[in-house]
Structure 1
Amino acid sequence: MSIKRLLTPALIGKGQMPTIFSSDQHQQKTVTPAQDWQKAERTEMNEVAAATLPDNSAPATDSPPVVIDPKPEKHAYINRASLESPYFPTWCPGCGNFGVWTALKNALVELQIPEQELVIVYGVGCSGNMADFNRVYGFHALHGRAISNAVAIKAANHRLKVIVVAGDGDTYGEGLNHFISAMRGNHDITLLVHDNQVYGLTTGQTAPTTDKGTKTKSTPFGSPEVPINPIGMALTADATFIARGFAGNIRHLTEMIKRAILHPGFSLVDMFQPCFTFNKVNTYHYFRERIYDLQQNEFEANHKVLAWEKTFDHEKLPIGIFYEDPYSVPFHASLSQLEEKPLTELSIAEVDMTEAIAPYV
């Protein structure tokens, strides 16, 4: 039986609670997950989490039946139980998506966001499969179009927290134009990019962030292209919050996601996310030998030129906040039409089009 949460314009506008449907709407349904083929890998990821999280916040190592309440309490804050999905991730053993998934859930719980005030938009790719693994309001967009859908949702109801979960190909390849446009407009959305430097879902082709010379299925003699610089691109497009995290450091990544969500304006968190299956170079070991925390090295994230210089560190890879504009004014706050209420709370009956159409009738 399929049990899913639906996002409709009515839900966005009125802030109603999710529709959980089954053959019997008035009884709790117990859903037993499919056989867990990745228990060994998940146990390894839990060990990473246990080293970086409070004891009571690491995910469970077993897969008990998940009880789905068809009528959850209205206006409840997101908690670990409310995030539980009956579907366990289908990612490969060792995938960095597990670390990102854990950090995102930690951030949502710690920020105590009301369930009806959050929407997550997912792109297409391994990262986008997270749409089935988070029990929240969500929208699964077309390839490269996650950002544009998120901008539309935020424009319709700016009271919502809108998060985009997408990959490096989805964002910096197919969705590059939307990425630049959203930054220039300073739309108040949080973009979490799973940067594994390869197209993983399509089995290992060169991506926009793949290092030059890397051999992949699409470049058997080595990639002839220079990889793009996501952090540098965000700086030149005037993004007002720019950070980077690492899937192997869940506590740090959790803090980056929290800071991004709380920032008023466009927020980018580019995340080093190892792909065990198709990227044998950029592994957990590779990153742990090279990454360092900008803030622990007394870097102040208020100077674009200094931030730009840090984007060219290749021997040592900086994580943390590159730049944050403390005076950021998000797109919706610059529009007088939205000062009092969002579009979803305005009535079309209040709009008088007589003068506008007069020349044509």
Structure 2
Amino acid sequence: MSEQFRTYETAWCPGCGNFNILESLKRALTELGKDPYEVLMVAGIGQAAKLPQYISANSFCGLHGRAIPVAVAAKMANDKLTVIVDSGDGDTYGEGGNHFIHNIRRNTNITHFVHDNQIYGLTKGQASPTSGIGLVTGAQTTGNINAPLNPVALAITLGAGFVARAFSGDMDQLVSIMKEAISYKGYAMVDIFQPCVTFNHINTFSFYKNRVYSLDENYDPSNKLAALEKAMEFGDKIPTGILYREDKESFSERNVVLNKDTALIDRPFNPSIIEELISQLV
């Protein structure tokens, strides 16, 4: 089983945090007993979005910021698939911001791992939605002047049922969170600190190792106010773990067409329905 999810040749920089995320994902899927044919990896554009190309599972790489619509459509068509979106902070919170927001409303049963390196790593290091104020880049030569987005706080306030924060340097915790996120019935978002060794020399591995701490067993992830407090904690100390978890009806459970024993992909196809719809348009 451990060899089923193979890794193909990568194009990431040596030392990139993406390597640990890829290995953690392989471990999580293996420990959950998944087979490659059961898993669909979806991505947009970016260094993080290359991950589906490097793992032996079904994959789809599309437009920048447009991973979520593809993932949602695939899950609606075939509820048997384990659908995972792997994307970066720019792809998710920038170009894909509206899709991110509205999938929280829908609560489609997909898992979303966001590789958050606070920079655009593929397109030569511009400031991203999560970049800190003052970050100097090739595009922001006098320093970034925009306040950083807090993705986990945003997700919690918008009503996401599963919100977690992780660090690629702590693979054991990351694997554990990934397994919980994949098993969650609904939209699960994990913001993963993924240091960029080439373009971001502030949010380094050392930066996070000196600051992150794991939420202990006394923490209650069902307490939304406590979750918001932890989500807002980003400074000398940064908590990691499952910040918030709530059981909610998923989109498919609420949808009268999808909420059936037979997945759409297994239902008989009746072309006359399509023909009738087309005839109404012409």
CA RMSD between the two structures:
2.1
Report which structure shows greater RCO (CA 8 Å, sep ≥6): 2
Structure 2-normalised TM-score?
0.94
Match of 2:228 in 1: 308
Match of 1:49 in 2: none
Pick from 200, 219, 222: which aligns with 1:299?
A: 219
Pick from 242, 248, 263: which aligns with 1:328?
A: 248
Structure 1-normalised TM-score?
0.74
- The question of 1:178 aligning with 2:83 is answered no
CA distance 1:337–1:200, change in 2 (3 Å): same
Paired residues in the alignment total 280
Paired residues for 1:77-226 under 5 Å: 79-85=1-7, 87-226=8-147
* Equivalent residue letter for 1:212: I
* Equivalent residue letter for 2:201: K
CA deviation string 1:261-316 (max 9, x = no partner): 000000001000011111111111110111111135x2110011111111221221
- The CA distance in 1 between the partners of 2:39 and 2:161, in whole Å, is 21
CA deviation string 1:103-124 (max 9, x = no partner): 1000010001133221110221
8 Å Cα contact 2:36-2:56 kept in structure 1: no
Give the Å deviation of 1:153.
0.4
Give the Å deviation of 1:354.
11
Match of 2:238 in 1: 317
Q: Which has the larger radius of gyration?
A: 1
The percentage of counterpart residues that share the same residue type is 41
Pick from 171, 192, 211: which aligns with 1:271?
A: 192
Give the gaps of 5 or more residues in structure 2.
none
- The CA distance in 2 between the partners of 1:118 and 1:259, in whole Å, is 16
CA distance 1:346–1:210, change in 2 (3 Å): same
Paired residues for 1:223-242 under 5 Å: 223-242=144-163
- The CA distance in 2 between the partners of 1:351 and 1:205, in whole Å, is 50
CA distance 1:274–1:351, change in 2 (3 Å): same
Give the gaps of 5 or more residues in structure 1.
1-78
Paired residues for 1:340-359 under 5 Å: 340-349=261-270
Give the Å deviation of 1:358.
11
Helix, strand or coil at the partner of 1:205: coil
